[in-house]
Amino acid sequence: MTGLRLSIRSALFYWRTHLSVLAGIILAGAVLVGAMLVGDSVRYSLMKSALLRLGNVHYALNTQGRFFRQDLAERLEKEAKTLVAPALLLRGIAIRQENTDEKSRQVNNIQVIGVDRRFWGLSGNSVVTFAEDEIAVNAKLAAELCLKTGDEISIRIGKPSLLSRDAPLSSRKGDDTVRGTFSIAKIVSDGELGRFSLTANQIVPCNVFVNLSWLQKNVFLEDKVDLLLAAGKEDLTVEKLNGVIKKVWRIEDIGLILRDFEGRGLFQLESERIFMDPAITRAALNIEKPVGTLTYLVNSISKEDRDGSRRTPYSFITALAPSADRALGPVPPDMTDDEIILNRWLADCLSARTGETIAVSYYELTPSNKFIEKSRSFKVRHILEMSDIADEKDLGPKFPGLTDADRCTEWDIGMPLEKDKVEDKANEAYWKAYRATPKAFVTLKAGQEMWSNRFGNLTSVRFPVARCGKELIVETLRQRINPAETGLSFAPVREAALKAAGEAMDFGQLFLGMSFFLIVAGLMLTGLLFAFGIQQRSEEMGILLAVGYRPGHVRHLLMQESCLLAVVGSIAGAFLGTLYTRALIWGLGNYWQGAVANSAIQYHAEPVTVIKGAVMSFLCAMFSLVIAVRKQSVRPARELLTVDFSQSYEPAGSVPGKGRLLGMLSLAGVAIALGIIGYSAMTGMHNAVETFFMAGTLFLIAFLGLSREVLVRLDQMCRGLSVTVLGLRNAGRRRGRSLTVTGLLACGCFLVFAVSSMQEDIGADAVKRSSGTGGFALFGESSFPIQMDLNSVEGRKKVKLEREQDLKNVEIVSLKVRDGDDASCLNLNRAQSPRLIGVDPQEFVKRKAFMAPDNREQNWKLLAEQLPDGVVPGLAGDSNTAMWGLKKKVGREKGDTLTYRDERGELFKVKLVGSLPMRLSVFQGSILIPAGSFTAKYPSENGYRMFLFDVPWGTERNVMELLAGKLGKFGVNISTTVERLKEFYSVESTYMAMFLVLGGLGLLLGSAGMGIVVLRNILERRNELALFKAVGYSDANVRRVVLTEHWLILAMGLMTGVVSSLAAMWPSFHAPGVRLPYMTMALFISGIAVFQLLWIISSVRIAMRQSMISALRNE
Amino acid sequence: MTTPLLVLEKISKKYLSAGGGLEVLKDIDLQVMNGQSVAIVGPSGSGKSTLLNIVGTLDLPTSGKVMFDGQDILNLNEKEQADIRNRKIGFVFQLHHLLPQCTVLENVLVPVLVNEHAANAEQRARDLLEQVGLSERLDYRPGQLSGGERQRVAVVRAMINGPKLLVADEPTGSLDIAGADKLADLLVKMNKQHGLTLIVVTHSLLLAGRMDMVYELSGGRLVSRK
């Protein structure tokens, strides 16, 4: 016989007792392991999703709206010796015409990807081939439009432009889309890159794959792409790949053209984008004796004199750097910035002579795309004959829609043009004779002061032939321009995707948190049941001590036994945990889809996690068992052998000092909690979460401490004797048990009620400007940018909305969008580079929208701050975005910064100076930056793609229907702001629903614990009940004694839970949309009460059904 | 002592067991007069306690009739039987069954709690406790008393509602000789001074010898020995 053998024997002998203990350990272990495995499964699913969307794509060069030559891919592939696929990634709309008499079905905001054979090579699967009139769609789009191979659909594609449509003199036509009808050649599966996307999001996009050359031809971007995808290869890094770009790139790749005017003695560097990027300007102006030029169309050139005013409308003026080399331009070195050179035609038109003053009025483009007319006066330096500047006619920039128009009246530019001035006959005659020949010349400095804009401050650079050869210029430019600064830079997208998935919300922790109470309840019950078992064996322990065992030996034996139980329980729990995980994943797929944003989660278990979970549950079980063993094994042998613990009674105040201290600490806890709540109420804290947890937890602990005091002092408190008092005093007999059950019930109630009270009615305060809707009724996002101002008559006319009466009182706030990762709760991945929204804070300040009622934070003011080192101030879309989506700090001083790459490839920082003051807003998942900074960093992001509609409440449905119809061709998705908030809130409310289920299970377990204690108490005291019967108590009287005792425990548990949750939630009841969960509370409380009543009655019946006589005769 | 307080007529008790029925009591007839003291002796398992519990309405016979104080108590409902136990019959068991959370005085008063007719119960409890020598222990808890003292408290508890019959099931079984003697004295005193009818089931021939009548229960039959 060894100690271990004795322990095993004991474990087997007391198997009935241990079975319930084992059940507790298995339950806690299963919940713990299950929760951790949910984390594994979500992580695995996100990783899988990330790899599916990228296939073998490791690096991507994505210029997002800037275009470069496709053959760069071939050069890169040759040099880097890895597959490089070019692609054109545009936004579009997919339309399926059902039948002639039926409405068509439309899916907005799809990705239209122009690809060739190389793209499919990146999937590692078969090559998808299709003709020019065919397309392939991914499974998601096929499902949404019910498509199958051979079906026909129409695709409307946004037609990009090399020169941003926001740029001055750029065309701003209303409809910049192209539509084509195609037959579906293939439904591309997930394994064939059907889910291709570059954003870190598990939500599958709707993809259409079209023939690259067809797409290029139809959007007038022949041989141009905006995306290069490179396959991974051993020893290939993003640095190496970007190094290869430097080696093989050509200036043509980025749209630079060096025009040869050798006969005139100059080369002119031009850009297909008209305005030159700063990186190009810097490099070009460092080459020998260059002359920078900036040509602009001014509104008018006029002269005031005694005879009145003379003017000519809409004229080109070229600003040139002064140069002694006449071949480079007519501006001499000594010309000052307040001088102007006129051509003969203009001088005659204005009757202007040298020395006279003329005025030039022109439009300045504001960051919010408005044109402001400005004027500047110049002194005429001299007049050039038309023959002297004949060469300038074809040296000017080629503005599409302007310089290629035959007549002035055919001009198509974004600037507002006055009809009568455009029709000016003299000007028309000039256009016919001299086209875009500048009517005047100013110094480059003066020109840049007037017409510099975010797109650039030069339209060309002229080089003298005499000083440098063409090859030298090209090579020098190649050497001096960093291609990355023009957007040609690869990013390690696969690494970023895996990082985003790896840093995704830890569902393991989330479920552990949600199951925490369930685990604790399981462990507390385990400890309780084990303690019961040990108490039953106190005689055995006493005998062991009596025969010479030291207390340590006895403890060791019991610990061995506990260990055996914990090992078996943990292993079984881990196994059961895998089943529990499957159940949770099933729940996530069927009932709690909102929690994972409707993503499919696959079961996956890492062996390490299972082992880790089993070890953790073993340790937790041991902890609860050790406490039970320790308490019992410290008693002396005599006591263990003689005292019946079921009859023991610890008088009040047996440890007076300790009791008083506990009582005082409990009261102090209540006082501090009240203080926190009071402070919260006085300071009007908006976010009550921290307050709630601090105050609530304090209340709970303090009330439990006070409950202990009540139990200790019951016999002092319950003076006199009655049947009720008898019951009340009984509650204090087994304080440990009573407190365990009280604690379980209190914690369960606290968590369940508190969580259910967090359920908000999101739409409750939607009309308020301070709410997450900003008081706007509708929210819209378009697939294609809308150029026009939808508030203006002109703008509305272009989309045929000018006569709509319903829109009379509707104002629209248009916002610019730079696509990025979604940092909202709908994205399970950690957003690496969140979407940017360019906003004009004044639009919101004037409406007091998205501002706290007292505007304490002054959030919009923060966007106006000038930060050092070019850092851009940014506001998180709401506090949840900062806290959960980004996990970043916000604040003027301590706000975190996010690094972005602007469209020219330069890195810049956005500092989170604050967030919108509400927990949830329509901007969730995005970062708001000032429109000025936005357009400076992303000048090519033309037009607006996000809209807030300030609609009179009550008419929003009509307006929504109207707008959806009229703006349908822009692929606008319009929803009410409340619906948008509800979509975000669905994640949170699903978490709460899950928590309620898991917390409810915990509460049920706590309630079952109470039941076990009741049964145990009653069975232990059967003789006492029998005595009551013997001395003449009726069954009803006996029940009354038992009920009083257990109702007290129940009431203390429920009261503690309810009061602490209510008190702690008090501040949040004042928050908008938060409602007290009367129904849930009533249901839970009455459910538990009824359950306990039935349990007590049944227990009494069970106990009394057995022979009373034997109870009286045997202890 | 002329009128019978308790009359048992043809009381039988049969237990069902795996090997068939076990009849522990066979057609028992017994008459106990007012103020009489009766001892029932017999070997363990002979059915003494069963008979006592039938007398005290804690158990039911398989057949037979129990007339107590002129009433057929087996035909009473649960509440009426509880009333009889509360006011007319006092119980003393081998183990005291005192409530640990109550003081000596409170334990004595436990039966009073369900007796609507009790008056001056506390004074009566104090008097009785004084009579049994426990006036100094009124506020003690059972855990602070000796075995004999606890058993005396149990006797006083049985007496508190002024019962007509006191039934004691091996009251000295768990006491030492001195304690047993003291308790026997107390029971006899109650019988003599208060005119209390007493039925005692005991193995102690000494205690049995101090009773008016002694019956032996053996083989299910009750035979008079004294």
In chain A, what residues touch B141 (CB-CB under 8 Å)? 649, 651
Q: What are the residues whose beta carbons fall under 8 Å from the beta carbon of A1076, sequence distance 6 or more?
A: A757, A1065, A1069
In the prediction, which pLDDT does A1029 show?
82
- Copy the structure tokens of residue A898: 């996010």
Which of A1029, A991, A1032 lies closest to A1107 in space, CA to CA?
A: A1029
Q: In DSSP terms, which residues pair with A944 in a beta bridge?
A: A786
Which amino acid type is present at position A737?
Answer: R
Cα–Cα dist A545/A414, whole Å: 98
Q: What angle do CA A450, A454, A460 make, to 5 degrees?
A: 70
In the prediction, which pLDDT does B100 show?
78
Tens of pLDDT along A971-980? 899 999 999 9
pLDDT at A200 over 70: yes
Q: What is the DSSP letter of A891?
A: S
Cα–Cα dist A576/A582, whole Å: 10
Tens of pLDDT along A658-689? 667 777 888 888 888 888 777 776 765 544 55
DSSP-assigned letters across all residues of B10-31: EEEEEEEETTEEEEEEEEEEEE
Cα–Cα dist A1000/A1077, whole Å: 15
Cα–Cα dist A290/B130, whole Å: 126
Backbone angles phi, psi at A950, to 5 degrees: -85, 90
Determine the distance from the C-alpha atom of residue A442 to the mean position of all C-alpha atoms in its chain, rounded to a whole number.
Answer: 50
- Answer for the pair A142, A187: CB distance below 8 angstroms, yes or no: yes
B78 to chain A: closest CA residue: A1034
pLDDT bucket at A900, cuts 50 / 70 / 90: very high
Q: Among B82, B99, B106, whose Cβ lies nearest the Cβ of A1032?
A: B82
Tens of pLDDT along A730-772? 777 777 778 887 888 888 888 777 777 777 778 888 899 989 9
Q: Among B79, B100, B102, whose Cβ lies nearest the Cβ of A647?
A: B100
Helix residue spans in A444-594 (DSSP H): 444-451, 470-480, 493-502, 507-536, 538-546, 551-590
In chain B, what residues touch A715 (CB-CB under 8 Å)? 101
Sign of CA dihedral A413, A418, A420, A425: negative
- Answer for the pair A245, A489: CB distance below 8 angstroms, yes or no: yes
In the prediction, which pLDDT does A1115 show?
38
In the prediction, which pLDDT does A653 show?
45
Give the A-side interface with B, CB within 8 Å.
647-649, 651, 715, 721-723, 726, 729-730, 732-733, 1023-1024, 1026-1035, 1037, 1108-1109, 1112-1113, 1115
Cα–Cα dist A175/A188, whole Å: 30
Give the residue, A1101 or A60, on which the prediction is more confident. A60
pLDDT bucket at A262, cuts 50 / 70 / 90: confident
pLDDT at A868 over 50: yes
Backbone angles phi, psi at A801, to 5 degrees: -110, 0
Mark yes or no for CB contact A1113/B78 under 8 Å: no
In the prediction, which pLDDT does A644 show?
54
ipTM over 0.95: no
Longest C-alpha distance within chain A, in Å? 133
Tens of pLDDT along A123-138? 877 777 888 889 999 9
Mark yes or no for CB contact A1027/B59 under 8 Å: no
- H or E, element range at A8: helix A3-13
- Answer for the pair A439, A315: CB distance below 8 angstroms, yes or no: yes
In the prediction, which pLDDT does B189 show?
86
DSSP-derived pairing of the beta strands A371-384 and A339-343 = parallel
Q: Smallest CA–CA separation between A1112 and chain B, in Å?
A: 7
Sign of CA dihedral A1005, A1009, A1011, A1015: positive
How crowded is residue A1106: how many other Cβ atoms within 10 Å of its Cβ? 12
Sign of CA dihedral B188, B191, B194, B196: positive
pLDDT at A647 over 50: no
- Least confident range from A932-941, A987-996, A1100-1109: namely A1100-1109
Q: Smallest CA–CA separation between A662 and chain B, in Å?
A: 23
- Answer for the pair A364, A372: CB distance below 8 angstroms, yes or no: yes
Burial environment of residue A541 by CB neighbours within 10 A (0 to 12, 13 to 18, 19 or more): buried
First to last CA, chain B: 17
- Answer for the pair A577, A31: CB distance below 8 angstroms, yes or no: yes
DSSP-assigned letters across all residues of A30-56: HHHHHHHHHHHHHHHHHHHHHHHHHTT
SS (H, E, C) A773-815: CCCCCEEEEEEEEECCCCCCHHHHHHCCCCCCHHHCCCEEEEE
Which of A505, A563, A457, A539 lies closest to A25 in space, CA to CA?
A: A563
Mean pLDDT of A866-892: 89
Cα–Cα dist A471/A258, whole Å: 10
Q: What are the b/e assignments for A624-650, b being 16+ CB within 10 Å? A: bbbebbeebbebebeebbebeebbebb
In the prediction, which pLDDT does B19 show?
65
- Of how many residues is chain B composed? 226
Which of A299, A298, A303, A341 lies closest to A442 in space, CA to CA?
A: A341
Mean pLDDT of A945-969: 89
Give the residue, A486 or A76, on which the prediction is more confident. A76
Q: Smallest CA–CA separation between B226 and chain A, in Å?
A: 27
- What three-state secondary structure class fits B76? coil
Cα–Cα dist A337/A441, whole Å: 11
pLDDT at A1114 over 60: no
Q: In DSSP terms, which residues pair with A86 in a beta bridge?
A: A228
Q: Smallest CA–CA separation between B108 and chain A, in Å?
A: 11
Cα–Cα dist A573/A608, whole Å: 15
pLDDT along chain B (226 residues), means of 10: 84 79 89 93 87 87 92 88 88 80 86 80 89 88 86 88 90 80 86 88 89 91 86
- Answer for the pair A459, A294: CB distance below 8 angstroms, yes or no: yes
Collect contacts of A1103-1110 with beta carbons under 8 A, ≥24 apart: A1103/A1018, A1103/A1019, A1103/A1022, A1103/A1025, A1104/A1022, A1104/A1025, A1104/A1029, A1104/A1035, A1104/A1038, A1106/A1022, A1108/A1022, A1108/A1025, A1108/A1026, A1108/A1029, A1108/A1030, A1108/B58, A1109/A1026, A1109/B49, A1109/B50, A1109/B53, A1109/B58, A1109/B59
Mean pLDDT of A134-149: 92
Cα–Cα dist A725/A448, whole Å: 94
- What three-state secondary structure class fits A364? strand
pLDDT bucket at A112, cuts 50 / 70 / 90: very high
First to last CA, chain A: 32
Cα–Cα dist A158/A945, whole Å: 12
- What three-state secondary structure class fits B223? strand
Which of B92, B59, B113, B99 lies closest to B158 in space, CA to CA?
A: B92
In the prediction, which pLDDT does A264 show?
81
Which amino acid type is present at position A1022?
Answer: R
In the prediction, which pLDDT does A652 show?
46
Cα–Cα dist A309/A455, whole Å: 34
B90 to chain A: closest CA residue: A1031
CA-to-CA separations, A288 to A174, A255, A284, A321, in angstroms, rounded = 44, 22, 9, 14
Cα–Cα dist A1112/A511, whole Å: 50
Tens of pLDDT along A519-575? 887 887 788 777 777 777 776 776 666 666 777 777 888 888 888 888 999 999 999
Q: What is the DSSP letter of A453?
A: B
Count H helices, E strands: chain B? Answer: 7, 10
Helix residue spans in B88-135 (DSSP H): 104-109, 121-131
Mark yes or no for CB contact A1027/B106 under 8 Å: no
pLDDT at A494 over 90: yes
Q: What are the residues whose beta carbons fall under 8 Å from the beta carbon of A1102, sequence distance 6 or more?
A: A1015, A1018, A1019
A1114 to chain B: closest CA residue: B95
In the prediction, which pLDDT does A657 show?
57
The rounded mean pLDDT for chain A is 84
pLDDT bucket at A817, cuts 50 / 70 / 90: very high
Mark yes or no for CB contact A1033/B86 under 8 Å: yes
In the prediction, which pLDDT does A634 show?
65
Determine the distance from the C-alpha atom of residue A166 to the mean position of all C-alpha atoms in its chain, rounded to a whole number.
Answer: 28
Mark yes or no for CB contact A649/B100 under 8 Å: yes
Share of chain A above pLDDT 70, in %: 91
Q: What is the DSSP letter of A200?
A: S
Mark yes or no for CB contact A1030/B56 under 8 Å: yes
Quote the pTM value. Answer: 0.73
In the prediction, which pLDDT does A1075 show?
64
Cα–Cα dist A911/A901, whole Å: 14
How many CA atoms within 13 Å lie on the side-chain side of A414?
Answer: 25
Mark yes or no for CB contact B82/A649 under 8 Å: no
